[in-house]
Amino acid sequence: MEIYVQKERGVFALSTPKMSYLMKVDEEGRLVHLYWGAPVKDITPAGIASRRDFPYSDHGGELYRPEYRAQDPRDFDPPALSIRYPDGVRNTVLRYRSYSISDGALTIVLSDDIMKISVELLYQGWGDLDLITRSVTIRNEGEAPVVLETVRSATLHLPGHLHYRLTHFAGKWGAEYQRQRIMLTQSQVVLESHRGVSASHQSVPFFALDPMGRTTETAGEVYFGALHWSGDFELIAYQNPDGLVGVTGGIGTYDTFVELEPQETFTAPGLTFGYTGHGFGEMSRILYDWQYDFLLPRSKAYSPRPVIYNSWYPFEFDLHEETLLKVIEQAADIGAELFVVDDGWMKGRDCDRRGLGDWYLDEERFPHGFRPLIEACHAHGMKFGLWVEPEMVNPDSNLYRAHPDWVLHDEGRKPWLSRNQLVLNLAREDVCQFAIDMLDRLLAEYELDYLKWDMNRYFGETGWPGASSKEIGELRIRFIQNLYRIWDHLNKVAPHILFENCAGGGGRADFGMVPYCDRINRSDNADPVDLMLIHEGFTTLFPPKTAGGAGNISPSPNGINGRTLPLQYRIDWGMTGSMSIGIDLLTADSEELIRLKEAVRRFCELRPLMNNSYVYRIASAYEGPCTVLEYVDREGKGAVVFAFGHGLHFRQYLPLFRLRGLEPHGRYEDEDGNIFEGETLMNWGVSISMAGDYASHVLVFRKVG
């Protein structure tokens, strides 16, 4: 990101290769937004002449677009900042104070000198990507405490008096990341969660806006943004009565406020925004590059994800040493590279009603500890991993009996029980330290290669008996800050371990968690037909290598919807993410085992093409009777195409499917030895048969010249 400051005119210009972002200090000393969109190089007086929002009017008035909107008596759009002062006043009038540039980032300081508040706006680029991250720090410069009732990360303004279409993702347990599209009218659309988790069990902290709703996968403008936060959040997209369109967003305000003592500061999480003129597909590729090259844990960002066998779907809580030793042998025989013992290994944990919180091995079911399992895995060339749920506890557990005060609850009331468990108050320092110590012990004791962190219920009460008003108001914030603290610790002490983030499936599939985890669970629903919708939403934002789950090759019938699907369909689908197998290998017949072994071999053969790839949505599950996804290696080595039928009718015509992202004059060889030029595959396309119920195909095109 390039930063240009024209001091005499108070103009600030931020530029990436294909995006410009402009603001200025106006004659009243206010920092106002000028422009966000395609590149603008000319910021001379003529180039950025005063905007005339009403050119037909004599006064040619300019509507107010504050760069960061505080609650101001002259402004009626959603504020990013609302402060309650000691006298009950809530209005803040911000004026420009100063700026500085350090390490390629721009900081602009605004202040209300009457109310003794300063606001630091930080703008940070990401190399040559068309992305900028904004964050804000509020400082109380007065002599009395103040209360931040709302403190959002940014105010964003879109250009022109145009109608915009909002694309976002929403859902529920088992149906995450469902694409939603609506045209904005004079209204406010609020995307939010106050469940204690951030993503896709209600709304996802992400937005995309395109002018007039005309943008496609391959063409048109998209203005988009995402919040770096894994707890309660609010994003508000609005069109005001004058037709101006904007977005503001940040930490949620439900049961939350921040008390700032004199000279104390509070920094809101980052909000990253970007622009493209080349459709939703290009937006996804920008987000992929951001994660591949900057966000994902650096020690494993480009490493292939291993083929996982997970115990949950076939065995659930019925785990025993003798059984798992047999499964390990079979898992190794089909080619699995990592064996994971999921929920059910702890003392007394034979169902979901007891044992959660007691992180010690059940000696009756594992009389020799985990050592025989670990040694068997290593002897067969496999790694070993474990499931944990550090934020939760069963009332029927030694931990709860010893520390009933550690759970979220209101004084004098019975805590709200959900899924037979309670939420540990991670905002407490003693609870946070307990989690760190417990995880350190497990990592050391069992020489783990993988850890799956789960979180299987939502917040209820924001209750913390005996806590101060400040602690209560900040509980939901401190909880997530301590969550990040624990994850940061894990990555520092065990950078070699593969970490998976799960929250009842995709409840924390967000950009706040990406820097800490290598796999992200999309959903507890492993049905391929349902997952096509979930996966399309998920991979709009996240690279396919991060698409985790306990059984991407899953049992049939499906446990959630009862759908029965052929094994080959489930196998082909299982290759579209980070492959995991959740089928009972002890009851599988010889043909199934042979086919699973071949599936793993084929996935490992194709993995170099898919490991660091882009996903091109050739045919959308939302728009037709089949789904076609093309995975194109970022280095140009080739492409893998997945095609799935799921609703053909009446001898339905299917067009040739035009591929994307290839070199027009490159030469590509398919698995039958046929050679095609890239432009042929992209302009003419490929024919894919979809005959019968639930047909699936995997096509491979390797670049040979």
Cα separation, 2 vs 7, in Å, equals: 16
β pairing state of 131-140 and 271-276: antiparallel
Q: Is 303 exposed, middle or buried (0-12, 13-18, 19+ CB in 10 A)?
A: middle
Cα separation, 82 vs 150, in Å, equals: 5
**Is 173 annotated as contributing to ligand binding?**
yes
**Is 570 annotated as contributing to ligand binding?**
no
- 103 assigned to active site: no
Supply 241's token pair: 């009565």
98: helix, strand or coil: strand
Cα separation, 584 vs 321, in Å, equals: 16
Angle at 395 between CA 393 and CA 399, to 5 degrees: 60
| DSSP symbols for 501-567 | E-BTBBTT-STTTGGG-SEEE-BS---HHHHHHHHHHHHHHS-GGGEE-S-SB--SS-TTT-----H
β pairing state of 206-211 and 131-140: unpaired
**Is 455 annotated as contributing to ligand binding?**
yes
Q: Give yes or no for a cis peptide into 557 (omega within 30° of 0).
A: yes
| DSSP symbols for 591-607 | HHHHHHHHHHHHHHHHH
**Is 513 annotated as contributing to ligand binding?**
no
Contact 386, 448 (CB under 8 A): yes
Q: Select which of 77, 289, 524, 633 is catalytic.
A: 524
Q: Select which of 72, 454, 510, 572 is catalytic.
A: 454
402: helix, strand or coil: helix
- Among 300, 283, 307, residue whose Cα is nearest residue 224: 283
356: helix, strand or coil: coil
**Is 419 annotated as contributing to ligand binding?**
yes
- 524 assigned to active site: yes
Half-sphere exposure of 120 (CA within 13 A, CB side): 19
Contact 86, 92 (CB under 8 A): no
Cα separation, 224 vs 209, in Å, equals: 6
**Is 333 annotated as contributing to ligand binding?**
no
428: helix, strand or coil: coil
Contact 521, 506 (CB under 8 A): yes
Could you list the residues known to form a binding site, using ranges.
173, 342-343, 419, 452-456, 502, 524
Q: Which residues are catalytic?
A: 454, 524
Could you list the residues known to form a binding site for substrate, using ranges.
173, 342-343, 419, 452-456, 502, 524
